[in-house]
Amino acid sequence: MTENPGDLTCSMVLMAPAVPRMRAGMSTLEAPPGVRPLIAPMRWLLYAASALVFLAGLQLTVFTEQTATYFAWTIARPVTGAFLGASYWAAVPVEVIAARQSSWANARVAVPAIWLFTALTLVATLLHVDQFHFSSPIASAQGAAWFWLAIYAGVPVAMLIIWMLQLRAPGTDPPRGPPAPVWMRIAVLAQGVGMLAVGLGLFLAPDFVKQIWPWGLTPLTARAIGAWLIGIGFAAFHASRENDFLRIRPLAGGYIAFSVLQFTAVARYAGDVKWSAPAAWVYLAFLGSILPVGLYAWLGRRTSGTA
């Protein structure tokens, strides 16, 4: 029997979602029809954010002991600078992986956490504005301070506007892929609870909670670390709610990088850590729990196919 040309055309259209369609300058697939895509402004905001956190991480990792010259404020204790640098670099894979997704559902785990972190960092900056290098005689330090303020004043607003546009994009979520095993959801929830509890304590009551941190902190550095822990902890809760290997892929990459980079930071400045305090060993155990969860989340998604 001869196939009707109209039927053939219809069949090709129905098969189209399975065909990789490359966008210019981008290696991601287009979202299938009916699925809410990751809109271009959100994609490029995530790429821009990844470049900014890479630069911040570079400053704090390469010039860890020269923050008076090359950073927005002076960080007296090198291990704190190394922690912050590792956190910024750990955010790079989160944002790049999210930016490379075709659908909003597979990228969104990164967005609320990024917005929360940047907003809290702006609050910390305003609370401790006198400690920043806005009037420093060193041009590089003063430039870093004003650039810092511009970024943290602008990114939360820009992300909120683009987020609203993203939610108005047509389409719905695709069907969920393979869920995470129960043990992994419990682990991620426990890690999220721990990070949120400690992060909120450091941010809201830095003078009290900093006493149980593995190394000495100032109120500003306590709030800076707290902002990171709150953001990552919120992302952990979000990932548990999504419960889909494809949808938590950005966080998986960040988990792996965070654990490895923070272990490296502690190794670099082990002399700054109060090893006689139980908090130091609890912190190492926490980092040790992050790595296998991240690896399992990353490797486990292979069974779910391509995004």
pLDDT in tens, 233-267: 999 999 988 888 888 889 999 999 999 999 999 99
The two structure tokens encoding residue 118: 């940047």
Residue 105, class by beta-carbon neighbours within 10 Å (0-12 exposed, 13-18 middle, 19+ buried)? buried
Q: What is the mean pLDDT of residues 282-289?
A: 96
- Average the pLDDT over each of 15-24, 83-92, 196-205, 214-223 and give the range with the smallest value: 15-24
State the pLDDT at residue 301: 55
**pLDDT digits 0-9 by tens, 146-186:** 999 999 999 999 999 999 999 999 998 888 888 888 898 99
First to last CA, the chain: 37
Q: Nearest CA to 283 among 295, 271, 266?
A: 266
DSSP classification of residue 28: S
Helix ranges (H only) for 40-138 are 40-62, 67-70, 78-99, 111-127
Where residue 274 falls (left for φ over 0; alpha for ψ -120 to 50; beta otherwise) is beta
The two structure tokens encoding residue 218: 């100032």
State the pLDDT at residue 14: 33
The two structure tokens encoding residue 226: 């707290």
Tell me the three state secondary structure of residue 126: helix
The two structure tokens encoding residue 307: 């995004």
| CB of 174 closer than 8 Å to CB of 32 | yes
Tell me the three state secondary structure of residue 137: coil
State the pLDDT at residue 302: 54
State the pLDDT at residue 34: 83
